[in-house]
A and B are shown apart, each in its own frame.
Chain A
Amino acid sequence: MANLRDIRRRIKSVKNTAQITKAMQMVAAAKMRKAQQAALAGHPYSQVLDRVLVSLRDHVSEGAHPLLESRPVKKSLVLLVTTDKGLCGALNTNILREAATLDHESTVFVASGKKGASFLARTGRNMIADFALPDSPTFLQTKAISKFCLEKFLSGEVDSVSVLYPKFVNTLTQKPLLVPMLPISSEAAQGKGEHVEGGAQYLFEPDADGVLDAVLPYYFHFSVFQMILDARASEQSARMVAMKSATDNAKGLVKDLTLEYNKARQAAITTELLEITTAQMALA
């Protein structure tokens, strides 16, 4: 039978832990809502961007734009989006398992998030850059990352660019997803919307190709921004779920320990009573 004082000490420490995990759960829940709202706030932008792409469809000349040109892939670049902090369940493990399956030789990595960066360093992968981002990144901050990738692609150092990030499916599920971004597929470059018959015939200034030149990088920057926001929402929801189960476990543990504590206390009292009675009987 465990010592009474030891059990009491353990109960106290487990309760403390539960308090911390509970607090983390609440914080993660609030941050998750914020991250989801941030992702939704980009909706008007994506609509206008799409409208621009759709209206450009008929006006651009056939010659392939450098961002649309697909080359035989000798080197590919993967932007690995992970979290900076742990305690978010299997989120990073799943992403990194996916990253480990990528070809060692022909893949170069750009990391965003400390967990990914330290994984790449540990396994000796070819990491060419590591970007740090705050909890709620702004477009200009993520643009620095996407611009870096874009330039590697345009200079011919890499022949394809993809993003590996935890896609937010719902609060309970996050799926690691490898999304090819560059070269931009021609379907994506044409926009998702239906072409409006007899719609506005735009005048382009300086010309349609010039506008396309400027729009396509934005399409890429914006997609990367959205994916990073999505990864943030995933991180927070994974953390919330992990912390909730940790809190539940701690509560279960406290319950078991309290039971054990009471049993031990009962046993101690019984022993004491027995001793007193025995002593009395001996005196009588």
Chain B
Amino acid sequence: MEQGFTMNQALAEASRCLLCHDAPCAAGCPASTAPDVFIRKLRFRNIKGAAKVIKERNIMGGACAVVCPTHALCAQGCTAAGLDKPIRIGELQRFIVQYAWDVGFQPLKAGQPNGVQVAIVGAGPAGLTCAAELAKAGFGAVVFEKRSAAGGMLQWGIPNHRMSREFFAHELEDIRSLGVEFRFNTPVETQADVDKLRADGFAAVFVATGAWRCTTLDVEHREGSGLEDSMSFLVRAKDQPDAVRKELTGAEVLVVGGGDTAMDAAVSAKRAGARDVSIVYRRSFQEMPGSPEEKQAALDAGVHFVILTQPVDYVIADSKITGARVVRTRLTTEDASGRRRPENLPDTEHVLAADLIIEAIGLSPDPSVRKLDALTIGDGERIVVSEGQRASTDLPLYAGGDAVSGASIVVKAVRDGKAAAEAIRKELGR
């Protein structure tokens, strides 16, 4: 993970801020983290006050500072861009949060206990935010997580080079210090599990199980080693870095896809010692959904970009992947997403050799969420919610994060967690 700002660098950047009367950055944050307020506080050297603003409004303020696509959110409307370039809001936010960690300033306090217990299913950013908000309001918040640690995508999906586990551990400690309890290796998957929670005295349940299911390419030959989905690879790279390094040193890797997950996988593979890592994407560089920062990071890492190229099948020999059969594409008219549709070009088929192919072409909620009978499941296996993240008209069930939105960004999960906690507080608070 790169070094953040020093104090003087942060103050210098903050001094570029125009301290707008009606700051567009504030409106750009889904979690209402109030960048206009925390930058002003930093500017006037009230750094603890700035940390308080961030953490009170966004318990995941440290992680968001690092992983947020700020160019599309807070920094998008930055007035300073009218003079030169937008304020580096993410870096400032990270500096402030880290400052509080460094000096041991804990701005949050648990609320006066109200005796009401709420179960949170899933310890990703949505679940963690909901739990923390409830703990601040005096609720007993217990997080049930089927994996062995908290954080969800932030724990396993974001590579170390973007956010280290040491950094993220501080954020989890902030949450734990509010009295949030965790039950790891404890899946809550069926309606019976939920009913039992309610019988055990949990007055409400917030479901935030995320979107971990990887979309696969629909091709004829998939059965062989050396084909892996993005999440499986990213989890391995994070949990078993030595094994992955041993496996990839000198290897050729193809990453299929053009989003941030593809960039993360490609850079992780490159950093693990792969000789050549190629991102294979069917449209143009500009149309890749990955954020400009992550695309640049991949370029800087030496990742190759094989654009306007569509895999049509994999090549397998002795039950092992040896490459991808691809064709060239050309862009035609715009599709519903406003991007130009790729069309395969005839007589262009060729093989790209690979020791490992990583598919990073989309994530969605796991269909197993259908086992929760009380929920309504919509398109893309997404849980349907109404006002206040309410997921059932009969039962006190709430849902949020990627399980509701489909694969999205952390700060939107934070927003959902806050909204659900607020609704639960209104309904059940004493």
B is a partner of A: no
CB within 8 Å of B: which residues of A? none
Chain B residues engaging chain A, CB cutoff 8 angstroms: none
